[in-house]
Amino acid sequence: MFALMSLLVVGSVAFDSVKTPFGQAKEVLGGSATYFSVAASFFTKVSLVAVVGEDFPEKDIQFLKSRKIDTAGLERAKGETFRWKGEYGFQLNEAKTLDTRLNVFQNFWPKLPEAYKKLDIVFLGNIDPDLQREVLQQVTKPKLVALDTMNFWISGKKDSLIKTLGLVDILIINDGEARQLSGEHNLVQAAQKIQSMGPKILIIKRGEYGALLFSRKSVFHAPAYPLEKVFDPTGAGDSFAGGFMGYLAKTRKFDDANFRKAIIMGSVLASFNVEDFSLNRFKRLKNSEITARFKAFKNLTHFENL
Amino acid sequence: MFALMSLLVVGSVAFDSVKTPFGQAKEVLGGSATYFSVAASFFTKVSLVAVVGEDFPEKDIQFLKSRKIDTAGLERAKGETFRWKGEYGFQLNEAKTLDTRLNVFQNFWPKLPEAYKKLDIVFLGNIDPDLQREVLQQVTKPKLVALDTMNFWISGKKDSLIKTLGLVDILIINDGEARQLSGEHNLVQAAQKIQSMGPKILIIKRGEYGALLFSRKSVFHAPAYPLEKVFDPTGAGDSFAGGFMGYLAKTRKFDDANFRKAIIMGSVLASFNVEDFSLNRFKRLKNSEITARFKAFKNLTHFENL
């Protein structure tokens, strides 16, 4: 029965226009919930809650469906789909946003289809913390809830965000956000402060430098995979979260050892995602490649005892 | 017999004045060769080649001697000892240099005492690449030679540096220097280019993000230890190199597996060094603490196979 359970995600579906030093892509499928869902779909069924406009093509819906992603919660609203335009320099670590058009996403009010409400593993993507709670309240018996957020909500809706933080098990943010949220520069101190706000587990993403996992018991460090070619970093963090949550939804073991494996799985998925524009690398990604890169991460980090 | 062999190091001995957000220290013992030697001294005897001025106090010489560091190659020249003054902001990742007075270091011409010439494990600290070769030529039968350098030599004496690179086994530099030396932004591509210049082993230091080890066979990633309090980062890179080379000099096994352990040892020593000003943390550091932190690095990076 567990194997049939699905992973619930709420977030954004968008069209991205991206320029990197290695090429460009125009109006390609993107959005945090899209990257998350497709990454997670290598491990589990996914139930997606998001909104698209009238312009969203049937072929993209079909692609999501082909990835075992339930689109019953993908609302189609009057207007245009969310659009983002950005550019990366050679450093590839931070996008310069050229244009953001929220469009239908602006008035997004997530409603869970009846069948979604019994799902117990939940990823609340980066949306208004009020809406994140709104989604969570519709879930009957949440067992593992993870949250993403961003500087915009930390500075603009901190009280609401802190309320939401009290309801979740896992927070996944980047180092700048962790510092902003805690008011501490040192990440160990930042983690302690954030954990005292609610989440037992804090995952701090550090882009090309990997990620740190703070649990109540220990700290775990996962490197990013040293790739010879990084083509487009868009969606790396969402792919990371998708691989992480997808692996947890598949294995349903919520202990320290399995969180660590899940973090590596997240890093594996992120490492593939950046090898091409949009979701192109995922479209041709094989399970055997995932397993091989997991082993490569083992080799990348392994050393013998004294 | 091997256990009695010493590790040869050439570099700078200095007095540092340092300000960090947590305090300040004035005219305290520092210099790359000092940090290197003291870190290495936890594993091996060290033979130091450097220069100090007439103002260098006997108590500091005695301190070095108390750490099994041979000071026969520590020249005392007319004039003042090298002085450096710097300041760190909350980010603690890069010092702002306020003042540099090379003093006696300006005319440093390293001469090896007769007993040093038969040593076979050599660390050529960050000095003029001409002088690095000068030192190496005095060594009868080098078995393992590692090199440090900096942006100043990469831009100002590139031809000489490339000549020196052809003579060494290991290069230890930071990510900015690796990019500058190779002309490649991507570190994997930078590493390949630098390895083709001579060094079989390239170690790229990334400060608070750890280090990458590129060998002919594989890539290894060592994290930096997530400390709750970083007090003063001065000397972290030199302590890293000292722990790395010291462990290799002790174990005398120059294979991939042992290089990895040595990198972790370097990270262990660096992680202690930043906990206090100058060499203060090393002055009270116990072997049992080193072993315990090595294990902590294991716990920090360990995950199970799939």
pLDDT in tens, A257-276: 999 999 999 999 999 999 99
- Whether A266 is in a domain gets the answer yes
- How far apart CA B53 and CA B232 sit, in angstroms, is 25
- Whether A114 is in a domain gets the answer yes
Structure tokens given for A75:
């609302």
Q: Which residues pair with B6 in a beta bridge?
A: B45
* Whether the predicted pLDDT of A127 surpasses 70: yes
What pLDDT does A1 receive?
Answer: 43
Mean pLDDT computed over A146-170: 97
What pLDDT does B2 receive?
Answer: 45
Neighbour order of strands in the sheet with B96-101: B23-30, B14-20, B82-87, B96-101
- How far apart CA B167 and CA B53 sit, in angstroms, is 31
Number of A to B CB contacts under 8 A, please give it: 95
Phi, psi (rounded to 5 degrees) for B137:
-65, -20
- The predicted-structure confidence for A182-231, as pLDDT tens digits, reads as follows 999 999 999 999 999 999 999 999 999 999 999 999 999 999 999 999 99
- The predicted-structure confidence for A236-254, as pLDDT tens digits, reads as follows 999 999 999 999 999 999 9
pTM: 0.96
* Whether the predicted pLDDT of A180 surpasses 90: yes
Separation in Å, CA A224 to CA A1, A221, B260: 34, 10, 18
In 3D, which of B192, B183, B187, B158 has the Cα closest to residue B175? B187
- Most distant CA pair in chain A: distance in Å? 64
- Whether A76 is in a domain gets the answer yes
Kind plus residue range of the DSSP H or E element containing B236: helix B236-251
Q: Which residues of B touch A228 (CB under 8 A)?
A: 186, 188-189
Contact assignment for A188 to B261 by CB distance below 8 Å:
no
Cα A66–A68–A69 angle (5° rounding)? 100
Structure tokens given for B93:
């990742």
- Whether A152 is in a domain gets the answer yes
- How far apart CA B14 and CA A183 sit, in angstroms, is 36
Q: Which residues pair with B148 in a beta bridge?
A: B172
- The predicted-structure confidence for A33-68, as pLDDT tens digits, reads as follows 999 999 999 999 999 999 999 999 999 999 999 999
**CB environment B168-187: b (16+ within 10 A), e (fewer):** bbbbbbbbbbbbbbbebbbb
> Which conformational region is residue B141 in: left (phi greater than 0), alpha (psi within -120 to 50 degrees), or beta?
beta
Exposed, middle or buried by CB within 10 Å (0-12, 13-18, 19+), for B13?
buried
**Residue that is written with structure tokens 């659009």 in the block:** A83
Q: Is B220 in CB contact (< 8 Å) with chain A?
A: yes
* Whether the predicted pLDDT of A69 surpasses 90: yes
What pLDDT does A5 receive?
Answer: 83
What pLDDT does B3 receive?
Answer: 47
Phi, psi (rounded to 5 degrees) for A81:
-70, 150
Nearest to B301 among A188, A206, A221 (CB): A221
- Whether A306 is in a domain gets the answer no
Q: Is B227 in CB contact (< 8 Å) with chain A?
A: yes
Q: Which residues pair with A52 in a beta bridge?
A: A76
SS3 state at A306: coil
CB atoms within 10 A of CB A233: 21
Closest chain A residue to the Cα of B208, Cα to Cα:
A209
E-strand ranges in chain B read 6-10, 14-20, 23-30, 45-52, 69-76, 82-87, 96-101, 121-124, 144-148, 170-174, 201-205, 211-214, 219-222
What pLDDT does A244 receive?
Answer: 98
CATH number at residue B78: 3.40.1190.20
Nearest to A300 among B206, B219, B302 (CB): B219
DSSP letters for B73-140: EEEE-SSPPEEEEEE--TT-SS-EEEEEE-GGGGG------GGGTT--EEEE-SS-HHHHHHHHHH-S
Total domains in the fold of chain A = 1
Separation in Å, CA B69 to CA A39, B34, B116, B234: 54, 10, 12, 21
- Whether B287 is in a domain gets the answer yes
- How far apart CA B268 and CA B17 sit, in angstroms, is 24
Phi, psi (rounded to 5 degrees) for B145:
-120, 125
Q: Give percent above pLDDT 90 in chain B.
A: 96
DSSP letters for A179-238: HHHHS-SSHHHHHHHHHTTS-SEEEEE-GGG-EEEE-SS-EEEEPPP--S-----TTHHH
Kind plus residue range of the DSSP H or E element containing A154: helix A151-156
Contact assignment for B226 to A294 by CB distance below 8 Å:
no
SS3 state at A146: strand
What pLDDT does A91 receive?
Answer: 81
What pLDDT does A161 receive?
Answer: 98
Contact assignment for B303 to A260 by CB distance below 8 Å:
yes
- Whether B306 is in a domain gets the answer no
Q: Is B301 in CB contact (< 8 Å) with chain A?
A: yes
Supply the range of the domain harboring residue B101: 2-301
* Whether the predicted pLDDT of A146 surpasses 60: yes
Contact assignment for B301 to A264 by CB distance below 8 Å:
no
Tell me, letter by letter, the H, E, C secondary structure of B56-73. Answer: CCHHHHHHHHHCCEEEEE
Q: What dihedral do alpha carbons B279, B280, B283, B286 form, nearest 10°?
A: -110
What pLDDT does B90 receive?
Answer: 84
Structure tokens given for B34:
């000092």
- Min distance A166 CA to chain B CA atoms (Å): 24
- Helix, strand, coil in percent for chain A, rounding step 5: 40, 25, 35
Cα A224–A120–A221 angle (5° rounding)? 20
Residues 6+ apart with CB under 8 A from B273: B35, B39, B235, B236, B239, B279, B281, B282
**pLDDT-flagged residues of chain B (< 50):** 1-3
- How far apart CA B46 and CA B282 sit, in angstroms, is 15
- Whether B223 is in a domain gets the answer yes
- How far apart CA B82 and CA B100 sit, in angstroms, is 8
Contact assignment for A304 to B260 by CB distance below 8 Å:
yes
Contact assignment for B186 to A218 by CB distance below 8 Å:
no
SS3 state at A156: helix
Q: Which among B303, B304, B305, B306 is the top mutation candidate for probing chain A, defined by the most A β-carbons within 10 Å of its own β-carbon?
A: B303
- Min distance B257 CA to chain A CA atoms (Å): 7
What pLDDT does A94 receive?
Answer: 80
**Residue that is written with structure tokens 């790739």 in the block:** A227
- How far apart CA A102 and CA A152 sit, in angstroms, is 14
Output DSSP code: residue A286: -
- Min distance A109 CA to chain B CA atoms (Å): 39
